[in-house]
Structure 1
Amino acid sequence: MTGANLPAWPRESVLDRLRGGEEHYDLVVVGGGITGAGILREAARAGLRALLVEQRDFAWGTSSRSSKMVHGGLRYLGSGHVGLTRDAVRERQRLLQEAPGLVDPLPFVMPHYCRQFPGPRLFGALLSVYDWMAGERNHEYLKGDRVLEWVPGLNRDGLYGGTRFADAVTDDARLVLRTLHEAVSDGAEVLNYVRVEKVDRDSGGVKRLHVSNQMNGESLTISANLVVNATGAWTDNLRAQLGAEKTIRPLRGSHLVFPSWRLPAACTISLFHPDDGRPVFIFPWEGVTVVGTTDLDHSLTLDDEARITPEEVDYLLAVVGRVFPDSGVGTADVLSTWAGVRPVVGGSAKDPSKENREHAIWDDGGVISVAGGKLTTFRLIAQDVLAKGLPYLDKLETARSDAPIFQRPSTPGQRPASVSSRQWQRLQGHYGDRLPEVLAAGPLEPVADTDTLWAELVWSAANESIQQLDDLLLRRTRIGLLLPRGGEAVLDRLQALCTPVLNWSAERWQVERNHYLELWRQAYSLLDEGRSAS
């Protein structure tokens, strides 16, 4: 940030320089999810002149629609992926230490029923290895009714105990945003709503990206020594220009959100679906309860918002009924939904859940593509990508770094009286060194019954390149998932507080409001009765 009045991410300033002539970068990252953000973070730390461009909004795709778990992947250990699990467990521990309030520990409980695999002995043995990887023991067997102390109302038919273990949870979109802030602090630049239309390569190895500003249609050109394609489920689109064959199998994962009072959960309930035996979770997140996820081939266009289907709703409600048979929870209780598309590197497994989740990297003549992998291991993926790019990066001499992802923030001052201890830790985790700016931006009172403060919305509107209302309500904050009807009841106050810093007219606000509410209805609520599923 070069001036006190400039936003943290000065989108127009970067675009003005691009309009003034061809800008050259050491590295351009295409894709604004967690993988792209991690690569930008590592590149900026290494002193590279780096730019990230995202065709929609930051974290618009998979990285705002995951199951929010920062975990080692216990099931991958059970299927023999020891290296993947070891790396993920160690990265989970690193994130817990570096970003408390953004990545937080969460207890898990797996109920054990008669004739259900795995039994407590085998599961306990797996957890012993899991804990050894983490460097601390953190599991126990809950015999008989002890499991009901953790999960009241649990189905008791055939229940003979449970196992408690530990993993972690995050706000995945905010994890992306905090990572981008760290990269920008080290000199990187970011642009959302800028789409790469074509990449050319000259005889000297320089790549030219022909891009379009999605907000006004203008065309611009950027040059770079190295281009990294970190577009996740969209990876094949750019690689096709370079003659590569398709490699990505898009898999959809969908979730239901319930008010916590309607489906209480003090821990994550980990279980296997009674119909097909695949893992499903019921877990607390941001003051609500989430049920997910599905794992289905996604055949619709990737350019439209992924959405849950009626069959997935029934699938997830079936597992709620199995776990809590007396709850009576149904479609009328659903607060919101979300669906995301996982970029799994293509295989031919009949069961999508059995596809390999490890990442893959391809070098198409200085356009390096990366796909697959886990949210938890984004730092290691970024380092692998930069190591692959070394031949194109004269300035980059370091390979892997053990430096922290998130710089330890300076002392944020005294906690305001109106902010709870839980909110205080959450704010520090979400905003790091920018927290004093956030606290000064607006009212320090919660939005309805969420933990989100109005000040967060105002600060984000002024600083985080908000181009559309859904950027603010679905990714910078999660108001659209946490409040009934996408937070429609708070929009009037939001208009009063945020349109002055957004510089939106009353007419622009009305357009944005209508677009957001229709988007929420189409993609984040239950499907209308009678609407056909795809």
Structure 2
Amino acid sequence: MSHDWNAAWRQRVLPTLGDETWDLIVIGGGISGAGILREAARRGWRCLLLEQRDFAWGTSSRSSKMVHGGLRYIAKGQWRLTRDSVHERQRLLDEAPGLVEPMSFMMPHYRGGFPGPRVMGGLLTVYDALAGRRDHRFHNAQQLRYLAPGVREDGLLGGTCFVDALTDDARLVMRVLSEARADGATGINGLRVQQLVRDEGRVCGVQVEDCEGGGSMQLRCRVLAVATGAWAERLRPSDVPRQLRPLRGSHVLLPGWRLPVAQAFTFLHDSDRRPVFVFPWEGATVVGTTDLDHHEDLDQSASISAEELDYLLAACTQQFPQAQVSAADVLSTWSGVRPVVGSAAGERQGKPSNETREHVLWHEPGCVTLAGGKLTTFRPQAIEVLKACALMLERPFEDDGAPVFVAVPDLLIPGLSGSQWRRLAGRHGRDLPRLARLIEALGHDTVGATDTLWAELAFACDTEMILHLDDLLLRRTRLGLLLARGGEDFMPAIRHLCQSRLGWDDERWHQEEQRYRALWQRHHGLPGGSLLNQ
């Protein structure tokens, strides 16, 4: 594996991609594609992943950050999905501490409200049984006031506490890709698949366009896996019925001091009885999520609407009335599009929140497409895809249950606290020694009040295939979400550290800053773009 996975490496490798017939080409650089690549590479397959934008650009950097079993899926009778989810949640907690961390969730109960403590306790008993552990308890109103100052008190009966997990979704993708590359896989961003190549009715390759340098090429493969999320139908034959229902989920991020919560709160929104969350993440507080049909162009980043903003602010007021949170308090926003498999086009569609989160596989000779699915269950989804691919290759394939992540080197990094080390080990895994050398050279200062080290920015520039400034600030790190105005005040210091590492001249840096500001204002500020100028 080349240590310097960057634009210079990309330029060297691009002309060679057509020199061989790959065992497997994976289209899509989100968590689903990364998981498929990782499991194939571990088995010695010659495999290549192609991503048209940036790794985790779509849903996999804009999720609700939860690694969870899906408590509400039990109520819908989706036992297998819940069982797989709780098992994978535990696996990720065990294998990737610091990246996937347990989080206590509290559901307050009010007189006359549903679900009450008894119903909720029953659901959680089943949930815990599927997980093989007891992880819930009820707190009375007095205890809850102590645990959650500022919670709405009118009619409060108490609250039920249970445990799930949170992650940095974009870093999860990068760590899975790192494991795949260590086992010999190749992953490249900025390559768009224009069409599939077929020979006598069987998919045998792809025609790709270099979105950065221009030009196109044809790549050959023995089997193709499509894991493009909401875009999964793009490459399917035009006469096949459309089944995907893109649903938008939007979130707002508040400064941690503005709405301080020590654990996640889940409750039903007064307006539509949908579950919403308020939870601590990266030192800030997330409020989400909405669940609406997304009718906009999928090739544009999704953005929060004025109605969604009002809905999420109303949720804050409903549950934490004393805080008086308003739009002026919002640090940033993000919206993701979930690739939910709905009813076929033309049929009546019900409420978005009633759609199943189960995934499906679509087969054609030489090609397997994954549609739908969840972040938490990326590994079993990848196994399912690869079993179907192996049949086409006439290769044996079993789920041997091997870890997704190798053990992190036991490395002392002077000057870091235990929690800082855990965080960095979780996010960077086997690359920790290289990061440690940068920390030694650059120090262990953090960027503003965030947990992100300046050394992490340098590491990303050197080794994490950054093609544009938003790759660095919105996905390799989350500084664009966590810092006021997208990090505007820190831009000179970021430039000083990163410009030469990225090999950008002054004109290119200026272009990237302008591009980033416009993108941030449109897709991560308030509707109407008012946050950047505050």
What letter matches 2:334 in structure 1? W
Distance 1:334 1:407, change over 3 A: same
Equivalent residue number for residue 195 of structure 2: 198
| Alpha-carbon distance in 1 for matches of 2:8, 2:23 | 20
Contact between 1:11 and 1:190, CA under 8 Å: does it hold in 2? Answer: no
Q: How far has the Cα of 1:208 moved from its partner?
A: 2.1
Equivalent residue number for residue 181 of structure 2: 184
Where 2:236 maps in the other structure, the secondary structure is helix
Where 1:133 maps in the other structure, the secondary structure is helix
Equivalent residue number for residue 318 of structure 1: 314
Equivalent residue number for residue 396 of structure 2: 397
Contact between 1:113 and 1:159, CA under 8 Å: does it hold in 2? Answer: yes
| Alpha-carbon distance in 2 for matches of 1:503, 1:406 | 31
Contact between 1:335 and 1:482, CA under 8 Å: does it hold in 2? Answer: yes
1:318-357 correspondence runs (5 A) = 318-347=314-343, 348-357=348-357
Q: Greater shift after overlay, 131-140 or 163-172?
A: 131-140
| Alpha-carbon distance in 2 for matches of 1:454, 1:357 | 38
Q: How far has the Cα of 1:382 moved from its partner?
A: 0.3
Deviation digits for residues 137-170 of structure 1 (CA, Å, limit 9, x no counterpart): 1110001221122211001001111001000000
| Alpha-carbon distance in 1 for matches of 2:358, 2:203 | 30
| Alpha-carbon distance in 2 for matches of 1:393, 1:173 | 31
1:231 equivalent to 2:228? Answer yes
Q: How large is the Cα RMSD of the aligned pairs? A: 1.6
Contact between 1:193 and 1:213, CA under 8 Å: does it hold in 2? Answer: yes
1:463-482 correspondence runs (5 A) = 463-482=463-482
Partner of residue 413 from structure 2, selected from 393, 411, 415: 415
Q: Greater shift after overlay, 133-142 or 481-490?
A: 133-142
| Alpha-carbon distance in 2 for matches of 1:270, 1:245 | 37
Contact between 1:9 and 1:190, CA under 8 Å: does it hold in 2? Answer: no
Equivalent residue number for residue 268 of structure 1: 264
| Alpha-carbon distance in 1 for matches of 2:19, 2:216 | 12
1:457 equivalent to 2:457? Answer yes
| Alpha-carbon distance in 1 for matches of 2:336, 2:280 | 19
What letter matches 1:430 in structure 2? R
Q: How far has the Cα of 1:530 moved from its partner?
A: 10
Distance 1:365 1:101, change over 3 A: same
Q: Which runs of 5+ in 1 are unaligned?
A: none
Deviation digits for residues 108-140 of structure 1 (CA, Å, limit 9, x no counterpart): 000001111111111101111111222221110
Equivalent residue number for residue 383 of structure 1: 383
Equivalent residue number for residue 370 of structure 2: 370
| Alpha-carbon distance in 1 for matches of 2:88, 2:216 | 40
| Alpha-carbon distance in 2 for matches of 1:529, 1:205 | 47
| Alpha-carbon distance in 2 for matches of 1:285, 1:366 | 42
Where 2:252 maps in the other structure, the secondary structure is strand
Contact between 2:302 and 2:523, CA under 8 Å: does it hold in 1? Answer: yes
What letter matches 2:499 in structure 1? T
Q: Greater shift after overlay, 163-172 or 206-215?
A: 206-215
Distance 1:148 1:415, change over 3 A: farther
| Alpha-carbon distance in 1 for matches of 2:216, 2:396 | 34
1:134-153 correspondence runs (5 A) = 134-153=131-150
**Number of equivalenced pairs:** 524
Contact between 2:26 and 2:224, CA under 8 Å: does it hold in 1? Answer: yes
Contact between 2:6 and 2:461, CA under 8 Å: does it hold in 1? Answer: no
Contact between 1:9 and 1:464, CA under 8 Å: does it hold in 2? Answer: no
Equivalent residue number for residue 99 of structure 1: 96
Deviation digits for residues 32-83 of structure 1 (CA, Å, limit 9, x no counterpart): 0100000001110111000000111000000000000000000001111111
Distance 1:6 1:136, change over 3 A: closer
Distance 1:63 1:529, change over 3 A: closer
Q: TM-score, normalised by structure 1?
A: 0.96
Q: How far has the Cα of 1:203 moved from its partner?
A: 3.2
Where 2:246 maps in the other structure, the secondary structure is strand
Where 2:333 maps in the other structure, the secondary structure is strand
Equivalent residue number for residue 440 of structure 1: 437
What letter matches 1:517 in structure 2? R
1:503 equivalent to 2:503? Answer yes
| Alpha-carbon distance in 1 for matches of 2:433, 2:98 | 16
Contact between 1:150 and 1:267, CA under 8 Å: does it hold in 2? Answer: no
| Alpha-carbon distance in 2 for matches of 1:406, 1:259 | 32
Deviation digits for residues 154-211 of structure 1 (CA, Å, limit 9, x no counterpart): 0100111100100000000000010000000000000101000011111394612100
Deviation digits for residues 443-476 of structure 1 (CA, Å, limit 9, x no counterpart): 3210111000011110111111100000000000
1:256-295 correspondence runs (5 A) = 256-295=252-291
1:125 equivalent to 2:122? Answer yes
| Alpha-carbon distance in 2 for matches of 1:206, 1:315 | 45
Q: TM-score, normalised by structure 2?
A: 0.96
Partner of residue 219 from structure 1, selected from 212, 216, 219: 216
1:43 equivalent to 2:57? Answer no
Q: Greater shift after overlay, 202-211 or 132-141?
A: 202-211
| Alpha-carbon distance in 1 for matches of 2:350, 2:382 | 30
Equivalent residue number for residue 167 of structure 1: 164
1:488 equivalent to 2:484? Answer no
| Alpha-carbon distance in 1 for matches of 2:75, 2:208 | 44
| Alpha-carbon distance in 2 for matches of 1:451, 1:6 | 24
Contact between 2:203 and 2:365, CA under 8 Å: does it hold in 1? Answer: no
Where 1:240 maps in the other structure, the secondary structure is coil
1:295-310 correspondence runs (5 A) = 295-310=291-306
Q: How far has the Cα of 1:527 moved from its partner?
A: 1.5
Q: How far has the Cα of 1:7 moved from its partner?
A: 5.2
Deviation digits for residues 405-464 of structure 1 (CA, Å, limit 9, x no counterpart): 0011221x21321x2222210100000111111122233210111000011110111111
Identity %: 52
Equivalent residue number for residue 113 of structure 2: 116
Q: How far has the Cα of 1:360 moved from its partner?
A: 0.3
Distance 1:90 1:8, change over 3 A: farther
Where 1:236 maps in the other structure, the secondary structure is coil
Q: How far has the Cα of 1:393 moved from its partner?
A: 2.1
Contact between 1:337 and 1:524, CA under 8 Å: does it hold in 2? Answer: yes
| Alpha-carbon distance in 1 for matches of 2:86, 2:9 | 36
| Alpha-carbon distance in 2 for matches of 1:182, 1:342 | 25
What letter matches 2:312 in structure 1? L
Contact between 2:201 and 2:365, CA under 8 Å: does it hold in 1? Answer: no
Where 2:12 maps in the other structure, the secondary structure is helix
| Alpha-carbon distance in 1 for matches of 2:146, 2:374 | 32
Partner of residue 73 from structure 2, selected from 71, 76, 101: 76
Where 2:231 maps in the other structure, the secondary structure is helix
| Alpha-carbon distance in 2 for matches of 1:392, 1:229 | 15
